[in-house]
Structure 1
């Protein structure tokens, strides 16, 4: 990669605030693409995901036998792109050569962090994490909304999901907790191998100290992103912080172990 072509990947588990974070970085001058995914009920201001990158990751996951979201059935991280995906990757990178500093956000990229680092040796990563219960509650609220309002479901299918919700929601909860662990372990592994090429922030810390964090990113990555007034795009009531009490359908010890490692590795 050319010296004047710096790539930045915004990593993090689904519903961890990566859309908000990427929106802020975009306002600070980071080019994240022209063909961005539209907003929806779950992200009214937009997902800030380049459709080309989303399609790349979704199709590659499907070719490996996984669900396109990367939220169910995934047992590992650090995937490698298949032969069909490789020329698409090359075309994507060629189209970004015009930009001095550019980046992208797609949560699924987190499953491919080491692969992207292999492809782009000078790749930098801004990783965002959020409490596991807050993430799983957000995913559950999204699921409830989808079946209530028949989003991507027929009315008949929505009715079936509504009836099965007490059981199926627990199945999803288990998978989502497992995905939270896998995604964040991928971030921790990258940080272990490439500590100088990643900054790691808890979502609330990233937002509340945004301009100080931009200074850190600029210094560490050798870029020139701008300060920005977070209040222009962030409404505090959009983030619901809620802990699940009682029995969890996943190993709580493992969740706490990963969370403690993330808290320990946060960037100053």
Structure 2
């Protein structure tokens, strides 16, 4: 394929929205219609609705959660699903010389994109597993707050005085281990994907250093990958106030081997980061 394609890749709550917003400001076409803002993403997700809808539909057809918080990769795509993806890619390529997209669910479909877009570049953002799981829990908590604040005065009082003080602990107990497994599944898929690509076709960024290295990322996209962009300082978009408090998830992980596995995957990806 003759056009320049950038696939922005990373686990949910890893900074893909910030990265995509920045690239959009720099002039990269990442979609005609974006998913709107939501809890935990008040500035918008910057997700191409077409890829978002495609991924959700395929997950649903395989009886998997549409939000993509799954611990296994989808089975092989059916011929109809492959054809739909080919058509989607063809439509995007027909309208833009350089383009890309972001949807964390992309991590679940990397083998198919590797096959259908052999010349694509991959911009991967890695965020540590403890922060990601904590952020997912904080988002669930935010959904609870929003739900109860929309109710009548009596349910609101019950929430504020009897349920709210214990909700985060309940969510940690219920969801921490599953979300850690999801982090492992996504980042293991990314690692396996990168191992099958030439090193010149991907760039891994550690979330912790994103603000400091954004100029280096921009220069790589421009000089090495030949994307025609205009530099905007990422720090102008970064809002530290939007970063949620990091909760301690460790006591809620029943299987300690999962913590070790996540740490190993994280370490291996960090060795690939710029």
Q: Aligning the two structures, in what range does the TM-score lie when normalised by the shorter sequence?
A: 0.7 to 0.9
CA contact (8 A) 2:172 2:249 kept: no
* Residue 234 (structure 1) shift: 1.4
1:179 is aligned to 182
1:209 is aligned to 213
1:30 is aligned to 28
CA distance in structure 1 between the aligned counterparts of 2:151 and 2:68, rounded to whole angstroms = 23
Which of residues 222, 225, 228 is equivalent to 1:221? Answer: 225
* Residue 248 (structure 1) shift: 4.2
Which of residues 82, 86, 89 is equivalent to 1:90? Answer: 86
For structure 1, the 5+ residue unaligned runs are none
Give the TM-score taking structure 1 as reference length.
0.87
CA contact (8 A) 1:134 1:240 kept: no
Shift in alpha-carbon separation, 1:168–1:230, aligned structure 2, 3 A: closer
Any idea what the Cα deviations from partners look like across 1:46-85, whole Å, max 9, x if unmatched? 000011111110111111121111214x22x375433342
Shift in alpha-carbon separation, 1:229–1:70, aligned structure 2, 3 A: same
Which of residues 99, 121, 124 is equivalent to 2:118? Answer: 121
CA distance in structure 1 between the aligned counterparts of 2:221 and 2:174, rounded to whole angstroms = 39
Matching of residue 253 in structure 1 with residue 249 in structure 2: no
* Residue 7 (structure 1) shift: 1.3
CA contact (8 A) 2:40 2:242 kept: no
Larger Rg, first or second structure (1 or 2):
2
Any idea what the Cα deviations from partners look like across 1:244-264, whole Å, max 9, x if unmatched? 265241421111111111111
Q: Secondary structure at the match of 2:106?
A: helix
Q: Secondary structure at the match of 1:27?
A: helix
CA distance in structure 2 between the aligned counterparts of 1:225 and 1:179, rounded to whole angstroms = 34
CA distance in structure 2 between the aligned counterparts of 1:106 and 1:245, rounded to whole angstroms = 25
Shift in alpha-carbon separation, 1:144–1:176, aligned structure 2, 3 A: same
Give the TM-score taking structure 2 as reference length.
0.86
Q: Secondary structure at the match of 1:149?
A: helix
Shift in alpha-carbon separation, 1:180–1:264, aligned structure 2, 3 A: same
